[in-house]
Amino acid sequence: MTPFAGIAFILTALGALMAAVKVLQLRALVQPETARKCVHIGMGTLCLSFPWIFHEAWPVWILAGLALLMLGGVRVVPGLKRGVGGVLHDVNRASLGEFCFPLGVALVFTLAQSDPLPFVIPVALLTFADAAGAMIGTRWGRHKFATLEGTKSVEGSIAVGVTGMLATVVPLMLAGHGWAVSLIMGAAIGLFALNLEAVSWHGLDNIFLPLAAYAQVSVYLDTPLTLLAANLSVLFVLTTVALLWRHGQVVDESARLGCALALYFFWSVGGPEWLLSPLVLIASYVRLMPTVPGGVPRHNLVAVLCVSSASLIWGVAEAFASHPSWLALFTLGTATHQAMIGTVRYSQARPRWTRLAWWAAGVAQAVIVQGLAYALLVWGEPGLPVTLAVGAACVAAATAAFVLVEPRLQAPDNLTLRWWRQGAAAALASGGGWLLFHL
């Protein structure tokens, strides 16, 4: 089949699918949300055939572009809204899911380079796990948890995990991989999908989920069985702690799951030593910083994203080009966040102190604790005293900049904006450390 014949076949099949679902909807045989999920599953099933129809990426990108044009038209053209828009349901909601779906498929196909297995697993995960989670959560979801968009259900998240596991195990077994490898990979990818879908918002899981699954499949296929089992164990423990931890209700459920994902990513790219710095931050937040009268505001996923932002940069660098200096910069970014959080906590618990005293206390506890932890990891490394001194200077400078630009440390007018300022300050500190280390 030529590429243009393949494009014509997919477009014809897609048109027939949407027409059939529209007829069912007009006859009141399916509810609007069910109709939208039928289109989602049908589109995904068609996409699973791509490796056997197309041998280059450009036809898939043409299909993705046509899909994006159609979806954009549905949102702005009245005639399309009344027709196709009724099938897709609720196109005016604040969601990017419909647009992310074709982009996610095209990106994974390009990365997989026509290799069926690393393409089929992510697309099957995207197609069936997401739909299963939505349908189970809508029909049987009773136990809710907070997200950035409102609430999701535990039942829907479990459905995502189980379906994601099956979407991984079946292709692996059909490709000839052993049952042990298939089950462990399936459980790890399914559990990761559960976490990622639970913390995603505005439909962004339609692009994050397939890309994350592709990365995992690419890595896990070359990973020894014992290490696969270790990865699964770490992710299971982190997820369990995130779901069960209730200390002071400082963060909501989606933030805890986001924290578990970040920690698992750091473990995956750098090993156990990359877990020490964030765990020190968490322990310091709970034990070493002063208690705030009346408690602190309950933080959401944005707080986790901002706190881990600078660290994620160095984690990605480690994944693509491992280097000893990335761990130092990773620790530097985390220590800067600890210093800023400590400064805020001291300002709330010790209101009679000056800003200089708040800054000094926050920086001191972060530099001492994180510095000791890092020194234990790399003890005997040449230049360790210089590394610690440079790190301490960067932490102090970035925290001072944060204190200067933050007008109200005790009670900010916009807590989300404060978190983004902290993320920028941590990036400034770790970036400054990188420059100083390379002078």
Residue pLDDT, tens place only, 206-256:
888 888 888 888 888 888 899 899 989 999 998 888 877 755 556 677 788
Query: Would you say residue 427 has pLDDT above 80?
Result: yes
| pLDDT tens profile 194-212 | 888 877 766 677 888 888 8
For residues 144 and 214, membership in a common domain is answered with: yes
Residue 70 lies in a domain: yes
Confidence of residue 61 (pLDDT cuts 50, 70, 90): very high
Taking 50 as the threshold, does the pLDDT of residue 33 lie above it? yes
Q: Establish if 282 belongs to a structural domain.
A: yes
Give Cα 256 distance to the centre of its chain.
12
Judge contact between 289 and 365, C-beta under 8 A.
yes
pLDDT of 18 strictly over 90: no
Residues 108 and 206 in one domain: yes
Kindly state whether residues 310 and 225 are assigned to the same domain.
no
Please tell me the predicted confidence (pLDDT) of residue 85. 53
Asked if residue 249 belongs to a domain, the reply is no
Is 228 in the same domain as 279? no
Q: Are residues 198 and 301 both part of a single domain?
A: no
Count of the separate structural domains present in the chain: 2
Return the higher-pLDDT residue of 187 and 285: 187
- Position 91 scores a pLDDT of 42
| pLDDT for 92 | 47
Asked if residue 255 belongs to a domain, the reply is no
Q: For residues 407 and 309, state if they share a domain.
A: yes
Among residues 108, 130, 126, which one has the least CA distance to residue 117? 108
CA distance 147 to 152: 7
Domain boundary among 221, 244, 267: 244
| Residues 233 and 339 reside in one and the same domain | no
Q: Are residues 302 and 353 in the same domain?
A: yes
Q: What sections of 141-178 are H helices per DSSP? A: 154-174
Judge if 183 and 281 occupy the same domain. Answer: no
Q: Which of 39, 133, 47, 127 is nearest to 87 (CA)?
A: 39
pLDDT score for 87: 55
Query: Does residue 26 sit in the same domain as residue 110?
Result: yes
315: containing domain: 275-437
Is 28 inside a domain boundary? yes
Same domain, 240 and 283: no
| Angle, CA of 3, 7 and 12, to the nearest 5° | 145
Q: Residue 151 has what pLDDT?
A: 74
What's the token pair of residue 349? 């618990």
Residue 342 domain-assigned? Answer: yes
Nearest to 232 by CA among 216, 211, 243: 216
Intra-chain end-to-end CA distance of the chain, in Å: 57
Residues 237 and 282 placed together within one structural domain of the fold:
no
Helix (H, G, I), strand (E, B) or coil at 146: strand
For residues 214 and 99, give the distance between their C-alpha atoms in angstroms, rounded to a whole number: 19
139/123: higher pLDDT: 123
d(CA 405, CA 17): 55
Are the C-beta atoms of 164 and 190 separated by less than 8 Å?
yes
